Structure 1
Amino acid sequence: MSRDIEYGNLMHQAMRGLIRTVLKDVQDHGLPGAHHFFITFDTTHPDVQIAEWLSQRYPEEMTVVMQHWYDNLDVTDEGFSITLNFGDSPEPIYVPYDAIKTFVDPSVEFGLRFEAAEDEDDDDESSAETPEDPTPQPDEDRSAADVVSLDSFRK
């Protein structure tokens, strides 16, 4: 029986571990300097917990900003919970790491994006990329961001 090394899944685990480590540090010490995060996640993920009105407003995905005001950040091995302000209305949310689609810290031009692979060989594997900054930044030059793509390593 043939066994393959699932590099895409291993890369996703490593990238999610990096997010967990960063959020744990913020939980323990706060956001340093100008650092702030744009986190986009799948609102249809079965373990995501958001208010019903947020679910209706963002039926597929939403991006939250962790910057000036946040409260009750609790980082676990499976995900994180945080209270954020939505139009002067504090709302608690819970996001499992495997629901995250993008994690960006624009203060240092760092971004991670999790993408589902095309069904090239009927695989259920995911591809892992660290692309250019995925946050919308009109008329700004994004060429300074480091880009690493795993496409060149695939068969």
Structure 2
Amino acid sequence: MSDSPENDSIDYGNLMHDALRLLIRNVLTDVSENGLPGDHHFFITFDTNHPDARLADWLNDRYPGEMTVVVQHWFENLDVGDDGFSITLNFGDQPEPLFIPWDSLVTFVDPSVEFGLRFEHHSDDDDDHDPDPENDEIPEAPMEENAEDDTPHEAEVVSLDAFRK
């Protein structure tokens, strides 16, 4: 057993994080094997500054903090792995391969079924965190860049009003 009191509790936040990332991994694995069913499509926002994220220099220059990609009509080479997923997407008729690590995810939204997750960046001081998820809305893609933040993510369900037609 641990010697310090801070290690004597269950870290539900990180456990939930891992479970939600596993959910996204399972969804993308199914899509890689069977394609997108029905009207499903995804808005996936990730931290372009993550050390393991791989994207073309021109995309990184254009989206220096966060980038939202859409997985819908045209994509190929979707390969889901332990550390993240790779996918080739079309940017203005230019196919570009990307690698998106699981722990770089900021949001995952499937507006066709009003499902969304947000992995919040926050410091250890939770006094500034707004506990009301009704106040958390995802801006429309592409998302504005936020300042680089290396703090852990916390997952929560988000409002999908910004994606409704």
Same fold by TM-score greater than 0.5:
yes
| Structure 2 gap segments, 5+ residues each | 127-150
Find the counterpart in structure 2 of residue 19 from structure 1.
24
Q: Any idea what the Cα deviations from partners look like across 1:78-122, whole Å, max 9, x if unmatched?
A: 10000000001000000011001000000000001001234327x
Which secondary structure does the structure 2 equivalent of 1:35 belong to? coil
Aligned length: 136
| 1:48 and 2:48 aligned | no
Alpha-carbon spacing, 1:126–1:72, altered in 2? closer, same or farther (3 Å): closer
Among the aligned pairs, what percent are the same residue?
62
Alignment of 1:24-39 (within 5 A): 24-39=29-44
Letter in 2 for 1:62: M
What is the root-mean-square deviation of aligned Cα atoms in Å?
1.7
Q: Superposition pairs for residues 120-139 of structure 1, below 5 Å?
A: 120=125, 126-133=153-160, 136-137=162-163
List runs of 5+ in structure 1 lacking aligned partners. Answer: 142-155
Please, which of 114, 117, 122 is the counterpart of residue 112 of structure 1? 117
Q: Hey, what's the Cα distance between the residues in 1 that align with 2:153 and 2:29? A: 25
TM (normalized to structure 1)?
0.82
